[in-house]
Amino acid sequence: MKVLVPVKRVADKDVKVRPKADETGVDLANVKMSINPFDENAVEEAVRLKEKGVATEVVVVSVGPEKAKDTLISALAVGADRAILVDAGETEVQPLAVAKLIKAVADKEQPQLVIFGRQAIDDDSAQTGQVFAALQGWGQATFASKVEVADGKAKVSREIDGGLETLELALPAVISADLRLNEPRYAKLPDVMKAKKKPLETVKPGDLGVDIAPRLKTLKVSEPPKRQGGGKVADVAELVNKLKNVAKVI
Amino acid sequence: MSTYNAPLQDMRFLLNEIAGLKDILALPAYAEAGVDADTVDSVLDTAATFATEQIDPINIIGDRKNSPKWDNGVVTVSPEYKSVYKQFCENGWHAMPGAPEYGGSGLPNLVNFAVNEMWRSASIAFALCPMLTMGAVHAIEHHASDELKQKYLPKMVDGTWGGTMNLTEPQAGSDLTAIRTKAVPRGDGTYAVTGTKIFITWGEHDMAENLIHLVLARLPDSDPGLKGISLFLVPKFLVNDDGSLGARNDLICSAIEHKLGIKGSATAVMSYGDKGGAIGWLIGKEGNGVAYMFTMMNHARIHVGLEGIAVAERAYQHALTYARERIQGAIIGDAESKKTPKPILFHPDVRRLLLDMKSRTEALRAVGYYAAGQMDIAQKSPDAATRKKAQAIVELLTPIVKGWSTESSIDITSAGVQVHGGTGFIEETGAAQYYRDCRITAIYEGTTAIQANDYVGRKTAREVNKETGDVAFTARALYKEILDFAAGLSGCDKLGDIGAALKTAAQALIDTTEWVVGIYNTDPANAHAGSVPYLKLGGIVTGGWLLAKSAKIAQEKLAAGADDGFLKGKIATARYYAHHWLVQAEGLKTEITQGGASVFGLDEPLF
């Protein structure tokens, strides 16, 4: 069984990012970039499936600039077998276009399972996996906290409001990984040094026949407003009154 | 609190633009191993993550929450230290600096240097453990018999066993001739070692299964000077022929020290042979112990210098985080800040403190990385003349990297405390730890005075070319190179002020060097009275040179169309350094050349 894992290159989770002065986006100059944390869980799960003998090959794919090669290599260093870069240059590629590109890759690769991260920590869209599943017409189990694969089926526990839901999916299927799914391993130095020797193929969005022109426009990216000082209320009546007439939330 | 983020951009800039990574990777030794620039990039990224997520969080644990505990000869570390050490070894980081035949990575020394900066920024106390083991590994690798190498090195390189260096005794510190520890032949090729060693970093702990102590000791009837001292390998547990652990050797950790800093590490008093004699094996030849130590000296000293650089960086990041968050007072010259408060980073003097910390740390790092790159060339270049020249540069820069980086780190971490104001004096803030931790770096592996003696004497006035009779030829050539570079830069449109400041400073260093060489034979005490300021002068000028060089490269990249805040930052830090530090060179020249007599101006009884 082949597992495909899409990974995204994002600002490292330990970096405190700031909006650009002209508010056109987040300032990523001089910022350490890493693999999206949820995608790390996805890679880890795929590699564990391979270690258990369930999966035979783990292929990682990234849509992004040429530098996203580093992200793919970091996935190869923790156990993925080969990598595909869809080199979109510096163009912003939005979830729909990413899903279409991954679909084109999946049509060629024919994986039985595609494991996404539940969302990317830069734009927090949490859409790509779901859109991809719809495009493919495959079953999906998002926000997975436990995955078992056997007999052509995946049993997935997912966290929902108030508890756990368990879904059973016929393969091929789509899963998106939550942080609780596993604890990703740290890459070992000898594996990092060997990772570059694993196959890494580069394709262009045009080669896959996908138009990646953005459909959404970012108007402004700014700091959240500073918290204003609070006030004390004397009793419940005043609180209700304020919620109703000042905050206008009830 | 702040989180450590490896300064990867500055590291990469220095590796590529200043230290010559490309040329080093092209050396046959590395090219054949297939190490390329992309792999180095991945290694740096992976190490940075490990330093941030695993090592940085345990730094405070070792210092203030759960320092190593001694109980009846047994030293126990915190569970966090134990677990991180295990993972550090399993992930191949411990073995990284080792030779490939014993399980090491085969990466250039320069790359090890950058990665080691990360470990030490994250926790100098933790990083000392692998550092000492690798020191022992190098000693065994270069000087011990094949039998000892095969038996001990693989497990030491991967960190299963630790290694220590036992030089100091209560009466033998900077002066090793006073060593009294004895080694008596037992008749079977081994020796019975008896004596007390102090200040043994990580001399006892429970992170590794066995500890291999390298001990300087005297054979019976040996020469009373340095030539009578030999080096012995004394394991904590004797090792059977199949590599399994045997009986406990006759040695014990009789106490651990209560220290000002690096409290996360156990500094041991080691007692050898209380029950008749610890069994030891001679390394190399009798009487060569101190010589063997000296062959590793450059390496060990440059790595202690790196501790200074690393802690300075960490203190800077910590102070910067605070200065961006703390709001206090209106900003002078900024009326708007009365209405919309701004963090203290906008106060002129906080600004100065932080830029001072940043530019000095970058200057230290530039010289350290440059020296580390020269070490690779000195070891691996196929051309003998190139090796010799690079080795001479390493020799000259070693006392600077060690002495100047560590002394500067004391100032820089102190500035870090200052940025925090009153809270900096409170341990919970975390700024004080860096200040305490770096204090030892100017003392161990040769105090600053020892470095300065080395710099003014052996590396400068006593460096003689036997064929031509030239004195101080390495120093003179390097300083001339700096002067010529400065002269060229002075005419540069955008960086002329930096060039001019460097030119004046380089001339001051050249003048002072000529003065030192001139009086060294007739009045050595005068030269040595100014040796520490001379070391500082050497550091400021070489640091200023490499910052100016960085600025020039940054300027060229910007002119070629790069729009990058980092490159603009390189120019700004070089400019600050020129206007605040290079300008001190002339004053130091006056201090050194004219201040010697006043050092002896107060008669001894009047102190």
pLDDT at A79 over 90: yes
Measured between CA atoms, how close is A191 to chain B, in angstroms? Answer: 9
Answer whether B54 sits within 8 Å of A186, measured CB to CB.
Answer: yes
Q: What percent of chain A has pLDDT over 90?
A: 84
Partners of B121 on chain A (C-beta within 8 Å) are: none
Q: What SS3 string covers chain A?
A: CEEEEECCEEECCCCCCCECCCCCCECCCCCCEEECHHHHHHHHHHHHHHHCCCCCEEEEEEEECCCHHHHHHHHHHCCCCEEEEEECCCCCCCHHHHHHHHHHHHHHHCCCEEEEECCCCCCCCCCHHHHHHHHHCCEEEEEEEEEEEECCEEEEEEEECCEEEEEEEECCEEEEECHHHCCCCCCCHHHHHHHCCCCEEEECHHHHCCCCCCCCCCCCCCCCCCCCCCCCCCCHHHHHHHHHHCCCCC
Mean pLDDT, chain B, rounded, equals: 96
Cβ of A188 under 8 Å from any chain B Cβ? yes
pLDDT on residue B298: 81
pLDDT per residue over B316-358, tens digit each?
A: 999 999 999 999 989 998 988 888 889 999 999 999 999 999 9
**For residues A21 and B433, which has the higher predicted lDDT (pLDDT)?**
B433
pLDDT at A229 over 80: no
Structure token pair of residue A16: 């405190």
Measured between CA atoms, how close is B590 to chain A, in angstroms? Answer: 41
Name the residue of chain A whose CA is nearest to B51's CA.
A186
Answer whether B43 sits within 8 Å of A190, measured CB to CB.
Answer: no
Q: What one-letter code names the amino acid at B172?
A: A
Partners of A192 on chain B (C-beta within 8 Å) are: 39, 42-43, 46
Residues on B contacting A at a C-beta cutoff of 8 Å: 3, 5-6, 8-9, 34-36, 38-39, 41-43, 45-46, 48-50, 52-54, 87, 90-93, 95-96, 105, 107, 564-566
Name the residue of chain A whose CA is nearest to B104's CA.
A190
Domain boundaries, chain A: 2-222
In this prediction, residues A135-149 reach a mean pLDDT of 97
- Residue A247, classified by CB atoms within 10 Å of its CB into exposed (0-12), middle (13-18) or buried (19+), is exposed
pLDDT at B257 over 90: yes
Topology given in CATH for the domain delimited by B296-446 = Butyryl-CoA Dehydrogenase, subunit A; domain 3 (1.20.140)
pLDDT on residue B174: 85
In this prediction, residues B396-416 reach a mean pLDDT of 98
Class of the domain covering B8-295: mainly beta
Residues 6+ apart with CB under 8 A from B189: B281
Angstrom CA distances, A114 to A2, A6, A46, A84, A204, stand at: 9, 8, 9, 14, 21
Measured between CA atoms, how close is B95 to chain A, in angstroms? Answer: 9
In this prediction, residues B405-428 reach a mean pLDDT of 98
- DSSP string across B169-205: BTTBSS-GGG---EEEE-SSS-EEEEEEEEEEET-S-
Residues 6+ apart with CB under 8 A from B493: none
Catalytic site positions of B: 445
pLDDT at B94 over 80: yes
Measured between CA atoms, how close is A131 to chain B, in angstroms? Answer: 32
Structure token pair of residue B267: 């500094």
Domain boundaries, chain B: 8-295, 296-446, 447-601
Select from A30, A190, A191 the Cβ nearest to the Cβ of B565: A30
Select from A14, A77, A189 the Cβ nearest to the Cβ of B105: A189
pLDDT at B530 over 80: yes
Cβ of A193 under 8 Å from any chain B Cβ? yes
pLDDT on residue B553: 97
Select from A14, A29, A192 the Cβ nearest to the Cβ of B46: A192
Cα separation of B206 and B81, whole Å? 10
Contact (CB, 8 A) for A85 and A201? yes
pLDDT on residue A195: 94
| Cα angle for residues A170, A174, A176 (degrees, 5° grid) | 135
Structure token pair of residue A4: 């495909």
Split at pLDDT 50, 70, 90, the class of B382 is very high
pLDDT per residue over B186-210, tens digit each?
A: 999 999 999 999 999 999 999 999 9
pLDDT at B99 over 80: yes
Name the residue of chain A whose CA is nearest to B39's CA.
A193
Structure token pair of residue B559: 């002119």
Q: What percent of chain B has pLDDT over 70?
A: 100
- DSSP string across B322-383: HHHH-B-SPPTT-THHHHS--BGGGSHHHHHHHHHHHHHHHHHHHHHHHHHHHHHHHHH-S-
pLDDT on residue B462: 96
In this prediction, residues A37-57 reach a mean pLDDT of 98
pLDDT at B512 over 90: yes
Name the residue of chain A whose CA is nearest to B91's CA.
A188
Cα separation of B103 and B95, whole Å? 6
Q: What percent of chain B has pLDDT over 90?
A: 92
Q: Shortest CA distance to B213 belongs to which of B173, B178, B161, B258?
A: B161
pLDDT on residue B563: 75
Q: For chain A, positions 41-70, list CB contacts with chain B under 8 A.
A: 69-70
pLDDT at A226 over 80: no
pLDDT on residue B166: 95
What is the H or E stretch that residue B212 is in? strand B210-218
- Interface confidence (ipTM) of the complex: 0.90
Answer whether B5 sits within 8 Å of A196, measured CB to CB.
Answer: no
pLDDT at A228 over 90: no
Answer whether B96 sits within 8 Å of A32, measured CB to CB.
Answer: no
pLDDT at A230 over 90: no
Cβ of A209 under 8 Å from any chain B Cβ? no
Partners of B49 on chain A (C-beta within 8 Å) are: 12, 34, 186
Strand locations in B16-76, DSSP E?
A: 69-71, 74-76
Structure token pair of residue A204: 């262009």
Structure token pair of residue B165: 């260096």
pLDDT on residue A15: 84
Tell me which CATH code domain A2-222 carries. Answer: 3.40.50.620
Cα separation of B229 and B222, whole Å? 8
Answer whether A189 sits within 8 Å of B41, measured CB to CB.
Answer: no
**Ramachandran category for residue B468: left, alpha or beta (phi over 0 → left; psi -120 to 50 → alpha):** alpha
Contact (CB, 8 A) for A211 and A97? yes
Answer whether B42 sits within 8 Å of A189, measured CB to CB.
Answer: no
pLDDT on residue B294: 81
pLDDT on residue A87: 97
Split at pLDDT 50, 70, 90, the class of B460 is very high
pLDDT on residue A224: 86
Split at pLDDT 50, 70, 90, the class of B297 is confident
In this prediction, residues B169-183 reach a mean pLDDT of 94
pLDDT per residue over B555-585, tens digit each?
A: 999 999 887 889 999 999 999 999 999 999 9
Cα separation of B553 and B489, whole Å? 11
In this prediction, residues A80-87 reach a mean pLDDT of 98
Name the residue of chain A whose CA is nearest to B97's CA.
A189
pLDDT at A227 over 80: no
Select from A29, A190, A195 the Cβ nearest to the Cβ of B42: A195
